[in-house]
Amino acid sequence: MLPDFDGLKRAFIQKINADMQKHVRNEPILSQIKHYRHYEGNQMNSRSMDGNVHDSNYRELSSKFEIRNDEVISGGYLTYIEKVMNTATDIQGQEVGVVFKTIGDVTEKTGNVVDGRNEPFGPEMILAAIDKVLIDFDENGNPKMPSFVFHPSMRERVMASKAKLESDPEFIRRHAEIIEKKRKEWHDRESNRKLVD
Amino acid sequence: MIERAIENWLTKTNERNFHIPFCQVLLNSGHKIIYISPHRQMEQGKDVFTIAPDGEYCAYQLKTGDIDTAVWRKINGEINELIQLPFQHPEVDKQKQHKSFLVTNGVVKDEVRLQIRDINEDNRTKNRNYSHLSFKDRDELLGDFIDAQKKFLPVEIPDIKLYLELFLSNGRDLFPREKYFDFLTNTLFTAENAKQKANFKNAIGSSVIVTAYLLNNFQTAQNYTAIIEAWTLLYASLIQYAKKNNADKPVWADSARLILSEIAFNFEQLTKELDERKNLLEGVISGDGGIVYNARTTILLGNLAAFENYKLTSDTAYKPSTKLIDLIAKYKSNLWFWGESAFPLFFNLIKFLESAGDHAAAQALLEEMSLDILIGNDREKEEGAYAGVYNTPEELLGRYLLGKKELDYRQFAGSSHILYVLVLMLAKRNKKGFIAKYWKDISWFNLLEFVPADATDFFAYHTGKGSNNSSFPNQTQSWTALVAEANDVSDISPLYTEFRAFIYLYINVCPHRVGKSLIKCLDS
């Protein structure tokens, strides 16, 4: 063999793998989701706080890239980083897809779906969605509102609905009512966290 | 534990890798080695030919693994050559019969032992004038190797740790030069072992054997440059030990020759590998290419050039390799001066190109390197100065690939270990215009040089005794005086002259040993 910097290259691969994972998790939605590393096993089972059980298997997310010898020789490690990061972006997209598919599967199974009844999107649907989810509160009593994810094509309608929710007294009132209801539910949940005989 | 490590190495290695330690064991028992097959292709069935202390001729054929009937049938022709053909060599009397030995790191099976006995008996009763065949297999070899080592095995915990670290090194990586040097000086080449002549000689013999198995992982990976570095360091350490203790040449010269033969063999293997390659990529692709590729190219070509310079110096009839000339032309654009520790590699390339008659290419490399230092290490430089002779390419590559920031590059601005050496090389080549143009810049440089307190420590990888000198060039410099200084060889150490050929190889492994007087010797 020719002289090589094997130790250095191994350290480089470790660094790039760590950078790649950081890059994948830097996506706005994925960055809000806690990641755990599983060290063994071949399936997952999770039970949510509202008692729903979800079984799932691991799914491989992968992406390929090709790099020619002449690209490696001329570009060196920078070419490799560029290719790996493009792959990371691809995996990022796949992971977001998996997250939405999983949410879709679970909500369909649990019935936790807001039926738009063929009505155009509006503030009513946002309120209905808030009403459907669990909301926690911080130590000052402020709600920890969930994130809403919309397709970019809905941007204008979403912004208009948001503006209406924040300005229309009727929607403000109904929103406050839902939050109060959620606060009560949260209190009930929290007060259940105790040891009894 | 270490005996187990030796056993583990012996049973797994191939005949090529136990070749040298086996020869050393023969030297230890008083044999004079007449011949070692240089390409490991047997001559007349003989890998090694010796004269035993009792004057008997001994011929050896080395094999790997168990020898059962099936293997025996395969090697039968070679065995016949071993026992039937006389050895042709000026030092050998053809009329005198030799003894033959089949040597393997496996086991000679019972059925083969019986056949060997029958063959010897048959040859004797039928008065065939064939040599008697004996065999030496794993257990006997292991005993020989352990006996040769026993006294010199590390006993202190830090030395055992060092030994095991070396033995378990990543064979695909660069050779751990400093660790290996420390191991040699802590365990073998000690002041205690130098007190008695027998111990001194055995320590030297032991160093050859131990190096062979410490290199196991590098041999498995066929990491030729790492192996060459190891043997080069051993040769240097051996010279240092011998010279420091005023040892007579016969005490160490045979072992030194063995080491040089191993260096030559690995260079041949490296050259063969290069013949089969379309490019110089190596190992995992991640992180390769670019500056890593360029560093590899520089190390490779600089080492091949050093071996050419070694051969050109040792043998005046030797002609420069056209293959290397072509390789340099092909990969010239990938040569990379990463810092001052690359200087010896470039120096060797320059000397080789000059020997091959390509003075223009040599001059271009010399001037480019000089400008790199003049511009790159300008005293005002805040970032990106060329690192010094002590900084390895791996250290510098780590800065790029891993973002390491440990090395403060500002320390190198305005100073250089090699600038004045370059100036003297330029003066010797009558490049007055170049020097005149840049003398103002040159005069600002702090010139560094390490001078070991004991001259023999030139061959030590590092030493605790010596002076780190620094000085500035004359602000006004006479060209005549500069040329005179470049051509003055009166200050050259006799050690440099005695080992001049080898030093071309050595400076690639110990770039921090480069200095004015040394380069004047090699450049003369």
pLDDT digits (tens, 9 = 90+) for B236-276: 999 999 999 999 988 899 999 999 999 999 999 999 999 99
HSE on the CB side for B494, CA within 13 Å?
1
Mean pLDDT computed over every residue of chain B: 92
> φ, ψ for residue B136 (rounded to 5)?
-135, 115
For residue range B179-213, list pLDDT tens digits in order.
Answer: 999 999 999 999 988 888 888 888 999 999 999 98
Beta carbons of B412 and B399 less than 8 angstroms apart:
no
Please give the pLDDT value at position B40: 54
**Minimum distance, in Å, between the CA of residue B142 and any CA atom of chain A:** 29
Beta bridge partners of A56: A44
pTM: 0.86
Query: Residue B102: helix, strand or coil by DSSP?
Result: strand
- Looking at B369-456, which runs of residues are DSSP E strands? 415-416, 446-452
Beta carbons of B371 and B345 less than 8 angstroms apart:
no
Chain B residues with CB-CB distance to A6 below 8 A: 170, 172-173, 283-284
Beta carbons of B20 and B45 less than 8 angstroms apart:
no
Beta carbons of B213 and B24 less than 8 angstroms apart:
no
- Chain A residues interacting with chain B (CB cutoff of 8 angstroms): 1-13, 15-16, 67, 69, 71-80
Task: Measure Cα distances from A109 to A50, A53, A106, A112 in Å.
Answer: 14, 10, 5, 8
Cα Rg of chain A, angstroms: 23
Q: CA-to-CA distance for B314 and A90, rounded, in angstroms?
A: 60
Chain B residues with CB-CB distance to A80 below 8 A: 285-287, 289
Query: Residue B486: helix, strand or coil by DSSP?
Result: helix
pLDDT-derived band at B41 (thresholds 50, 70, 90) equals: low
CB contact under 8 A, A6 and B172: yes
Chain B residues with CB-CB distance to A13 below 8 A: 284, 286-287
Q: To which residue do tokens 């790099």 refer?
A: A67
Beta carbons of B227 and B16 less than 8 angstroms apart:
no
For residue range B338-383, list pLDDT tens digits in order.
Answer: 999 999 999 999 999 999 999 999 999 999 999 999 999 988 877 7
Q: CA-to-CA distance for B84 and B128, rounded, in angstroms?
A: 9
As for the ipTM of the complex, it is 0.83
Block means of pLDDT (10 residues each) for chain A, 197 residues, are: 96 93 88 85 84 84 92 94 94 91 82 78 91 90 89 90 94 95 92 85
DSSP-assigned letters across all residues of A13-55: HHHHHHHHHHHHHTSTTGGGS------S-SEEEEE-TTS-EEE
Residues B299, B19, B280, CA angle at the centre, nearest 5°?
Answer: 25
Q: Around Cβ B472, how many Cβ atoms within 10 Å? A: 11
pLDDT-derived band at B233 (thresholds 50, 70, 90) equals: very high
Chain A residues with CB-CB distance to B173 below 8 A: 4-7
* Dihedral angle over CA of B62, B125, B89, B261, nearest 10: 10
Residues B262, B519, B184, CA angle at the centre, nearest 5°?
Answer: 40
Q: CA-to-CA distance for B317 and B311, rounded, in angstroms?
A: 9
Q: CA-to-CA distance for B210 and A50, rounded, in angstroms?
A: 68
**Minimum distance, in Å, between the CA of residue B402 and any CA atom of chain A:** 6
DSSP 8-state secondary structure symbol assigned to residue B184? I
Q: What would the two tokens of residue B33 be?
A: 């080695």
Query: Residue B108: helix, strand or coil by DSSP?
Result: strand
